[in-house]
Amino acid sequence: MSLEHPELNSSEVIICYYLFMGFKTKEISVFLNTSVRSVESKRYRIRNKLNVNKEDFKLVDYLIENFKNTATSN
pLDDT in tens, 4-53: 888 999 999 999 999 999 999 999 999 999 999 999 999 999 999 988 87
**Inside any domain, residue 3:** no
Task: Write the CATH number for 31.
Answer: 1.10.10
**Inside any domain, residue 42:** yes
**Inside any domain, residue 2:** no
The answer to whether residue 73 scores a pLDDT higher than 60 is: no
- Position 3 scores a pLDDT of 81
Distances (CA, A) of 13 to 44, 55, 62: 13, 23, 14
Contacts of 38 (CB under 8 A, 6+ apart): 29
By the 8 A CB rule, do 59 and 47 touch?
Answer: yes
**Inside any domain, residue 5:** no
Which residue range(s) make up the domain with 47? 10-73
**Inside any domain, residue 31:** yes
- Model-level pTM greater than 0.85? no
Distances (CA, A) of 73 to 5, 16, 21: 18, 18, 16
Total structural domains within the chain: 1
